Amino acid sequence: MDFELTDEQEMFQEVLRRFVGEHVKPVVREYEREGRYPSEIVAEMAGLGLFGITVPAEYGGLDLDTVSMSLVFEEISRGWMGVAGVLGSHSLSCRMIAAHGTEEQKRRWLPDLASGRRRTGIALTEPGGGSDLQGISTRAWRDGDEYVVRGTKTWITNARFADPLPVLVKTDPDAVPRHKGMSVLLVEAGRPGYEVTKDLGKLGYKGPESCEVVLDDVRVPADCLLGAVEGRGFVQVMSGLEAGRVNIAARSVGIAQAALDASLAYAQQREAFGRPIADFQAIQLKLADMATELEAARLLTRWAADRIDKGLRADVEAGMAKYFASEAAIRASLEAMRIHGGYGYSTEFEIERLYRDAPLMAIGEGTNEIQRTVIAKGLLRRSRGDS
C-alpha cells in the first residue's frame, strides 16, 4: 500500500480545502445559530459535482475511488461535519443503486442524482430498532404491478429532499434466515401515504434535517424494487454500509483535525503566567496525544478505503476505521475544549460545535459496539480460514 496521495488526489484535496475555506467556514456559526438549512453550500457542492462522487462516469458522475471519496468527507468535516451529512447518505445510496440497480433504474435516476438535481438518502432505522436491521417491522407486499408499503422510519437524513428514497422493507417476514426476506424499494416522493412527519431535534449535526418518515400503505411500482429481485435488500444495504463506514471514519478525521488545528493555534496565542500555554508540558501532552490518534485514524481510514478499491472484503477494516476514528474525534474535541478553557465552552469558538458533532460518529452507520462485534466476528472467521 502506498501511504501517499497521488498528485491528482492532492490537487482534488486542495480544491476541496479551498471550497471549505471560502464557502463553509465563514458561515457555519451563523447558519447553526439561525437554524438555517445550508442551501447555498449545497448548490456550490452540486456545482463541483460532489453529488456524483459515487456515480459511474457513464451516468454523469465523478466515479471517485474510495480514498478520494474519503478526502471529500474529511475536508468538508474540517469545516462543518453537518453539511458533509448532506452528501453522506446521498452518496451511500447512489453507490448502492449503481452496484445493484437494474440498467433501467440506473439510467432513470443516477444522472439527476449525480448532478444534484435530485437528492436521496436511505431509510433503514425505525423507532423500535436501529442497529438490528434484520429486526425491522416495515412491510411491503406485492399487489399486482405494485408493492404496498407500511411502516415508519426515523433519523432519516435528507428526508425532505430525497426523491427517490431507498427504503429497507420485509417482503417475506417469515423467511429463515431473516435477512433473506428483506428488500429495498426506491420510493418516490409525493406518493399518497408517504409523509415526512417531523424534524427531530439534535444535540449537534446541524444543517441537514433528520426526520421521521411514515409510509401508510404507499403504493410503489414493482419496477422500483432495487435489482428487480426480492430478498437481496440486506446484502445490498450492507455492501453500501461498508463504504459508508469509511465515510463516517473520514468525517471523524475531519473533526479531529479541526480540533487539533484550533488547539495548536490557541495554545500559541493564549498566555498564562507570562508564557504561551503551549510552553507547558500539560498542554504539550494533550497536543501530542491528539496528533498521534489523528494520524492513526487517518491511516486506518485510507487503509480500509484502499482495500475496497482493490475489490477486497473490508468489513473488518472499515469497522476498525470507523470505531477508532470516531472515538479519536470524541477525545480530540474534549481535549480541545480543555485546552481552550472557558473559551472552549463558548459559542463564539468552534470547539463547542466539534464537541457536539463528534458523538454522532460513534453512533452513525452502526454503533461502535456493533463495530466491535463485526471486527471480532471477522477476526474469528479469518482465523478459521473462512472466506
C-alpha angle 122/57/23, rounded to 5°? 65
- Torsions phi, psi for 199 (to 5 deg): -90, 135
What distance in Å separates the CA atoms of residue 5 and residue 48, rounded to the nearest whole number?
20
Here the cell at position 318 is 472499515
317 belongs to the catalytic site = no
What's the distance, CA 323 to chain centroid? 14
What distance in Å separates the CA atoms of residue 105 and residue 93, rounded to the nearest whole number?
13
- Torsions phi, psi for 314 (to 5 deg): -135, 25
DSSP state of 346: S
Here the cell at position 292 is 498521534
If one counts every other C-beta atom within 10 angstroms of the C-beta of residue 338, the result is: 13
What distance in Å separates the CA atoms of residue 103 and residue 98, rounded to the nearest whole number?
9
Q: Where are the alpha helices (DSSP H) in the chain?
A: 7-19, 28-34, 39-47, 66-100, 103-115, 233-269, 281-309, 315-340, 351-361, 368-383
DSSP class per residue in 277-312: GGGSHHHHHHHHHHHHHHHHHHHHHHHHHHHHHTT-
Active-site residue identified among 126, 212, 242, 365: 365
Question: Is 51 within 8 Å of 87 (Cβ atoms)?
Answer: yes
If one counts every other C-beta atom within 10 angstroms of the C-beta of residue 33, the result is: 10
Please give the C-alpha separations between residue 249 and each of 130, 260, 319, 321, 361, in angstroms, as whole numbers: 19, 16, 9, 6, 8
Looking at the annotation, which residues are catalytic?
365
